Structure 1
Amino acid sequence: MTRPGFSAVSVLGVCLLFTLSGCSGTPAPAPTTGSASATATATATASPSPTAPTSQAVTPSPTATAPPSSAPPSSAPAGPTETATPTAEPTFTGFPEQTGPLTIYYVAIGDNGVSGPMIGCGDSIVATTTAPVRFTDQVGPSLGTLLVNKSRDVGLSGLVNVLYQSNLTYVGGELVGSTINIYLSGQFMLGGVCDIPRAKAQLEYTAMAASGATSAQVFVDGRPIDEVLSLK
């Protein structure tokens, strides 16, 4: 059987037909704006680009400043100001009142220290006690009792009071450390040279016993007793 033959013209015509069909066929759809935007958005999301620095100056925030305070710096919060109440200094109102005997000293002439401490001229100074009396400061009552005694002899004891003729008044006393200072006013009236240490001993020992001091100084009208009783 003989196949039909294709002439060169026929083949050329078929090729030309295919070529024209490819050129005049339905064009491919152009991308829409929405698709382009989506693509751009997707591209931007996938590959974020760094933000370029701007040339605008940055204004620093103002630093907070604490308001001035008159209170001194402290780690603790300041509280309300308290006004200190002045404390009154205690006032000495005197010694409490008590009752007891007073100790008064007299002289044992020529005793040579047998009955008590020895003083000048070989005499002794001897302690005696009174009946109980009420007092607050024992020094004043003791010196007052001694000075108001106007008898030379002290009962039947054999003791002598060499101050019996003197006109002396107790003014006051002051305890300075272990020394009692006694202040008198008036005049001495003594019987001789040996009465000088006797008078001093009576006053000083009586003052020391009343105050508990270990030494005494006597002043008469502001002058030391040694100056007043001197033989100058």
Structure 2
Amino acid sequence: MSQDTETPVNGVNDSEEQADNVVDNDSDDPEDEDESLPDSVDVFLVDVEAAEEGEGIGCGDEMVAISRDIEPTAGVLMAALTELFSITEDEYEGYYNALENSDLGVESASVEDGVATVYIEGEVSVGGVCDEPRFEEQIRQTVLQFSTVESARIFVNGTPLGEIFDSQGSN
């Protein structure tokens, strides 16, 4: 998958085009349905240079939305997380990925009544106390980018995202 754009954000993505994951079922032509499905998603990486001192997340960092092309799908939430987890260390020069040493996959992802419920499984590995909030925020912002998602319940190996470092400690 390839990088399209880089957009600094303050924890919010207002891109309505990507956010809508509704399929137009008025057409009988399968090709028309593919055209209405999203073909890109944002994933969030860390800009360690962007935030003013004392602001931001981690050790004063900002999240940056990176647009990635995907196969057209109605399952954009799962596709976005899969893309986030697939980013390699040197893929985006100048941005940091606190997830790069983890081996994660999406077990399930759904949205009901504005609440996204996501189950992630795999090995969590971060570089220290600055990476713990970066790790959490990269996942959280990737989930919350969609207009159909008002809040999120995210679990990693059955543990709520906000508690994973409390229960296992840093690796």
Shared fold per TM-score greater than 0.5: yes
Q: Which amino acid letter does the alignment assign opposite residue 137 of structure 2?
A: A
3-state DSSP of counterpart to 2:64 = strand
The 8 Å contact of residues 113 and 124 in structure 1, kept in 2 or not, is answered as no
Cα gap change, 1:178/1:95 in structure 2, threshold over 3 Å: closer, same or farther? Answer: closer
Larger Rg: 1
Cα deviations by residue, 1:201-228 (Å, 9 ceiling, x for unpaired):
1101001114642332310122112222
> Which blocks of at least 5 consecutive residues in structure 2 are unaligned?
1-20, 24-33
> Which residue of structure 1 lines up, in the alignment, with residue 10 of structure 2?
none
Question: What is the count of residue pairs matched by the alignment?
Answer: 135
Give the Cα–Cα distance (whole angstroms) in 1 for the partners of residues 52 and 150 of structure 2: 19
Residue of structure 2 aligned with 1:216, choices 152, 155, 159? 152
More displaced 10-residue stretch of structure 1: 221-230 or 187-196: 221-230
> For the structure 1 residues 121 and 214, does the alpha-carbon distance in structure 2 shift closer, same or farther, using more than 3 Å as the test?
farther
Match of 1:193 in 2: 129
2:57 aligned to 119, 123, 138, which one?
A: 119
| Inter-CA distance 211–137: structure 2 relative to 1 (3 Å threshold) | farther
TM-score, length basis structure 2: 0.68
Amino acid across the alignment from 2:139: L
Cα separation, partners in 2 of 1:113 and 1:211, compared to 1, 3 Å: farther
Equivalent-residue separation in structure 2 for 1:182 and 1:113 (angstroms): 32
Deviation at 1:132, TM superposition (A): 5.2
Match of 2:92 in 1: 155
- Contact preservation (8 Å) 2:70, 2:79: no
More strand by share: 2
The code of the aligned residue for 1:126 comes to V
Residue ranges of structure 1 left out of the alignment (5+ in a row): 1-93
Distance 1:188 1:133 in 2: 27
Contact persistence 2:68–2:83 (CA under 8 A): no
Match of 1:225 among 149, 161, 166: 161
Post-superposition CA distance 1:72-123 (Å, at most 9, x none)? xxxxxxxxxxxxxxxxxxxxxx963514211111000142169xx9223100
Q: Deviations over 1:51-82 (max 9, x none)?
A: xxxxxxxxxxxxxxxxxxxxxxxxxxxxxxxx
Q: Distance in 1 between matches of 2:50 and 2:99?
A: 19
Q: What CA RMSD, in Å, does the superposition of the two structures yield over aligned residues?
A: 2.6
Output the CA distance in 2 between the equivalents of 1:138 and 1:132: 9
Aligned to 2:4: none
1:203 alignment counterpart: 139
**Greater length-normalized contact order (CA 8 Å, ≥ 6 residues apart):** 2
Q: How far off its partner does 1:179 sit? A: 3.0
With structure 1 as the length reference, what TM-score do the two structures score?
A: 0.52
Displacement, 1:147? 0.8
What is the CA–CA distance in structure 2 between the aligned matches of 1:129 and 1:220, rounded to whole Å? 24
Q: Which amino acid aligns with 2:50?
A: D
